Amino acid sequence: MKLLCFPIFIFFFSRFQLTCSSSPFYSSHDATLCPGDQKLALLQFKNTFSTSQILYEDCNEEHKVPYPKTDSWKEDVDCCLWDGVTCEDGTGNLIGLDLSCSWLYGSIHSNSSLFNLSHFQRLNLAYNNFRESEISPKFGRFSNLTHLNLSTSSFLGNMPLDLSHLTKLVSLDLSRNYGLGLNTSVYKAFARNLTQLRELSLYFHLDLRENFGLTCSLPKSNRTTSLKYLDLSICQFTGLLPMSMGNLTQITQINIQSNNFSGKIPASILNLAKLEYLILEENDFRGQIPDAFENLSQLIYVSLGRNRLIGQLPSSIFNLTQLSKIDFSFNQLSGPFPEYASGLSKLDLTNNKLQGPIPRFIFQLENLASLMLSSDSLSGVVEIGMFSKLKNMQSLELSGNGLLSLNTSNHFNFTLPSVTYLNLSFYNIQEFPPVLKAFANIERLDLSNNKIHGLVPHWFYEIGKESLEYLILSNNYLTKIHQFPWERIGHLDFHGNLLEGKLPIPPFHATFFCVSRNKLTGEVPSSICHLEQLQVLDLSYNNLSGKIPNCLGDFSYDLSILNLRMNRFEGSIPKSFQTILRSLNLNGNQFEGSLPMSLLNCSMLEVLNVGDNKLHGRFPYWFV
Ligand SMILES: *[C@@H]1O[C@H](CO)[C@@H](O)[C@H](O)[C@H]1NC(C)=O
Ligand SMILES: *[C@@H]1O[C@H](CO)[C@@H](O)[C@H](O)[C@H]1NC(C)=O
Ligand SMILES: *[C@@H]1O[C@H](CO)[C@@H](O)[C@H](O)[C@H]1NC(C)=O
Ligand SMILES: *[C@@H]1O[C@H](CO)[C@@H](O)[C@H](O)[C@H]1NC(C)=O
Ligand SMILES: *[C@@H]1O[C@H](CO)[C@@H](O)[C@H](O)[C@H]1NC(C)=O
Ligand SMILES: *[C@@H]1O[C@H](CO)[C@@H](O)[C@H](O)[C@H]1NC(C)=O
Ligand SMILES: *[C@@H]1O[C@H](CO)[C@@H](O)[C@H](O)[C@H]1NC(C)=O
Ligand SMILES: *[C@@H]1O[C@H](CO)[C@@H](O)[C@H](O)[C@H]1NC(C)=O
Ligand SMILES: *[C@@H]1O[C@H](CO)[C@@H](O)[C@H](O)[C@H]1NC(C)=O
Ligand SMILES: *[C@@H]1O[C@H](CO)[C@@H](O)[C@H](O)[C@H]1NC(C)=O
Ligand SMILES: *[C@@H]1O[C@H](CO)[C@@H](O)[C@H](O)[C@H]1NC(C)=O
Ligand SMILES: *[C@@H]1O[C@H](CO)[C@@H](O)[C@H](O)[C@H]1NC(C)=O
């Protein structure tokens, strides 16, 4: 089956105007003219590329539409005035080149004239497509280079040892070159030689084809004590975090998320007094979180989520006055909450084993915007009214705490206008809690997997009338939904209820509509084809019957999943398919005739299930 393969990190955005009003930035270089040989080398460099509209999401700043900076490179203009070029006052030597986000498409070979330009101090080639070139060892010749940025540019292969000659480097960004590998000996040479490095970003080096034997070989000497920023996220590091981390006394940001570091979180980290961001999430850390955070007085954000940490929440962390965000989700932390905290704006303790009631201090946290306490073992009664003092509260998740009950009293005298997300799934709720009326501006509401039964009450249709976008009521015992009055609703999930009668049709801007596993009957009205933005339509496992509208194959170009499985549909399959369909499931109906050739237009199709129908002919030969 044919699949279109785009490099995953490239985004084609039609909503961006590609007619770029390129108003290149001219810096004032008084009398300096750039030396002719350097100009020539730049022009030759330019000519090794074509420019194609490669749009990276990160390049699309509102005020800065990306465009090929080399467009302004004209032979009759002083190259010091060219876009992206910086010359040295006096000599005119080229000392800076910023061609980031410039749509360059082509390879950089070792014979490139770029390497004739020896004076560079800053070189930024990020966000281009160098077509899986290797990083030439000649990059090691820019001996005065302080900043090198080759992020997100489709470089491939092993990082050359020669980069370790760049002893003046302050900032090195090689992030997001998916096929780039860094082996231990090269890494060690970096650590030995690049003593000035303040910023190192290797984020997203992935090479799954070869194991380059990466190990965490952070420097064991004191040479790199001046490192301020370390980003080794998604690098496939394994093993223990070395005690020598404690030598990084100037460090302000540590991000090693999504590796496979194991063992305990070393206590030496807790001496790094300048640390502001500590992101260790998605590793294999075990044991208890050391309760000795008192020296990290600058800490703003700590994420230890998705590890295997046990024991109690460290109360010392809750006392840090600068700390704003805590994410300890998806661990096995247990016990009660600490009794005190201040200043928090985000607290995510989802999926642990925390016990006891939600502590009082939570309701005093004026800045709290996001509280995620789903899937713990909390108990007690939640008076939603207690949240009414939290004027900044936006997201509230309390789902899946078996012993935590919601006060469903009809009498309340507050509103929670700032809350836009409420998740009360897996909560044992028997009926729509009247307190929902307090959430006047709710955008996303999840009440799935409860025991809500019967009709949807009329007052519920008034909630979030102008704001609700996301409504999940799946796996309840609802029998009837009358209307979809919400102006902005896009995502509607009602699967696994007892809905009867005709298929209700959501408003035209819906993108997701799932009523699978209900008891709906009757035909699918052709008005469903007004849903031109629909991406997912799942009507499976109902009692729907009759012919399906002919327009169902091409009413929404964005349709990616169409599931009609296990109904009583009959007649022929629509003739015209023109969508980005990935999955088409018609199994278990009474469709007749043959598969339409137009399915060939659906080049993304991965799943096609037409079994158990009355179709004739063999599985079509053209479909492989
Ligand atoms: C670059 O340097 C090489 C060898 O050093 C030389 O042959 C070539 O002509 C130079 N190219 C430019 C454009 O100066
Ligand atoms: C540079 O090297 C590449 C690859 O070896 C080759 O295809 C290209 O022709 C060379 N360019 C020049 C100007 O020599
Ligand atoms: C590197 O910088 C030093 C000191 O500023 C200077 O003397 C030298 O000429 C520079 N080298 C190059 C190749 O630009
Ligand atoms: C590491 O990479 C360098 C540079 O690409 C290469 O010369 C060296 O042989 C590699 N070493 C190992 C052990 O793979
Ligand atoms: C470290 O830098 C020096 C000076 O540039 C260089 O001679 C040496 O080979 C480098 N060491 C490594 C391991 O690359
Ligand atoms: C590298 O360049 C890109 C694009 O200009 C930028 O977003 C990124 O922050 C740069 N990296 C560093 C470390 O400055
Ligand atoms: C490394 O630490 C030792 C002992 O603290 C000190 O004498 C030496 O100067 C340091 N070296 C550097 C390069 O900072
Ligand atoms: C760096 O860390 C190692 C291991 O913890 C330690 O032995 C060494 O003394 C530390 N060096 C400095 C300068 O703190
Ligand atoms: C992570 O490392 C552990 C051993 O510490 C190993 O058992 C596990 O398979 C590794 N996981 C991945 C995803 O590499
Ligand atoms: C905090 O800093 C003080 C003073 O430097 C030191 O004595 C103490 O051991 C540190 N505590 C932790 C937990 O590192
Ligand atoms: C945290 O601060 C509170 C109030 O200032 C204080 O009572 C408590 O002892 C502190 N806890 C820790 C672990 O420092
Ligand atoms: C709301 O009701 C609670 C008790 O139910 C009461 O303590 C509180 O003062 C009331 N608030 C307002 C603003 O009326």
Closest ligand 7 atom to 195 CA: 13
- Measured CA to CA, the distance from residue 44 to residue 33 in angstroms comes to 18
441 CA → ligand 1 middle, Å: 65
User: How many domains does the chain fold into?
Assistant: 1
Tokens matching residue 185: 């000996």
263 CA → ligand 9 middle, Å: 11
pLDDT given at position 612: 86
pLDDT digits (tens, 9 = 90+) for 84-110: 999 998 889 999 999 998 888 899 999
- Would you say residue 10 has pLDDT above 60? no
Residue nearest to atom 2 of ligand 10 (CA): 295
Residue with tokens 């279109």: 4
- Measured CA to CA, the distance from residue 588 to residue 610 in angstroms comes to 8
Q: What's the chain's average pLDDT?
A: 83
Q: Which ligand is nearest to the CA of 212?
A: 4
Torsion of CA 304, 310, 315, 321, to 10 degrees: 0
Q: Compute CA 99 distance to the chain's CA centroid, rounded to the nearest angstrom.
A: 26
Q: Which ligand is nearest to the CA of 259?
A: 9
CATH of the domain at 67: 3.80.10
Closest ligand 3 atom to 143 CA: 13
In 41-168, DSSP assigns E strands to: 50-51, 85-87, 94-98, 104-105, 122-124, 133-134, 147-149, 155-158
Residues 18-35, mean pLDDT to the nearest whole number: 42
* Contacts for 87 with CB less than 8 Å, ≥ 6 apart: 29, 32, 34, 79, 80, 93, 94, 95
Asked if residue 144 has its Cβ within 6 Å of ligand 3, the reply is yes
**Which domain, by its residues, includes 41?**
25-131
pLDDT given at position 303: 96
- Measured CA to CA, the distance from residue 420 to residue 395 in angstroms comes to 6
Closest ligand 1 atom to 40 CA: 13
pLDDT band for position 57 (50/70/90)? Answer: low
Least confident of 19-33, 275-289, 563-577: 19-33
- Measured CA to CA, the distance from residue 378 to residue 534 in angstroms comes to 38
Asked if residue 220 has its Cβ within 6 Å of ligand 7, the reply is no
- Confirm whether 599 is domain-assigned: no
pLDDT given at position 594: 84
- Would you say residue 20 has pLDDT above 70? no
pLDDT given at position 449: 93
- Confirm whether 526 is domain-assigned: no
- Confirm whether 32 is domain-assigned: yes
Residues 551-565, mean pLDDT to the nearest whole number: 91
- Would you say residue 23 has pLDDT above 90? no
Asked if residue 223 has its Cβ within 6 Å of ligand 7, the reply is yes
Residue nearest to atom 12 of ligand 4 (CA): 183
- Confirm whether 583 is domain-assigned: no
pLDDT digits (tens, 9 = 90+) for 198-229: 776 665 473 322 223 333 344 444 455 667 77
Is pTM beyond 0.85? Reply is no
pLDDT band for position 343 (50/70/90)? Answer: confident
pLDDT digits (tens, 9 = 90+) for 455-485: 999 999 999 999 999 999 999 999 999 889 9
In 10 A of CB 295, how many CB atoms? 14
Higher pLDDT, 614 or 492: 492
Asked if residue 221 has its Cβ within 6 Å of ligand 8, the reply is no
* Contacts for 213 with CB less than 8 Å, ≥ 6 apart: 183, 184
- Would you say residue 124 has pLDDT above 90? yes
pLDDT digits (tens, 9 = 90+) for 403-422: 777 776 767 788 888 999 99
Judge whether 262 and 232 are in contact, CB under 8 Å. Answer: no
- Confirm whether 153 is domain-assigned: no
- Measured CA to CA, the distance from residue 585 to residue 19 in angstroms comes to 41
Judge whether 358 and 334 are in contact, CB under 8 Å. Answer: no
Of 113, 71, 67, 108, nearest in space to 94 by CA = 113
Residue nearest to atom 6 of ligand 2 (CA): 109
- Measured CA to CA, the distance from residue 331 to residue 309 in angstroms comes to 5
Judge whether 580 and 6 are in contact, CB under 8 Å. Answer: no
Residues 552-574, mean pLDDT to the nearest whole number: 93
The residue count for the chain: 624
Higher pLDDT, 55 or 536: 536
- Confirm whether 327 is domain-assigned: no
pLDDT digits (tens, 9 = 90+) for 242-266: 777 788 888 888 888 888 889 999 8
Closest ligand 8 atom to 268 CA: 5
Asked if residue 526 has its Cβ within 6 Å of ligand 8, the reply is no
Q: Which ligand is nearest to the CA of 136?
A: 4
- Confirm whether 411 is domain-assigned: no
pLDDT band for position 2 (50/70/90)? Answer: very low
pLDDT given at position 499: 97
Least confident of 190-194, 383-387, 403-407: 403-407
- Confirm whether 303 is domain-assigned: no
pLDDT given at position 239: 79
pLDDT given at position 16: 24
Higher pLDDT, 538 or 20: 538
Percent of the chain at pLDDT above 70?
85
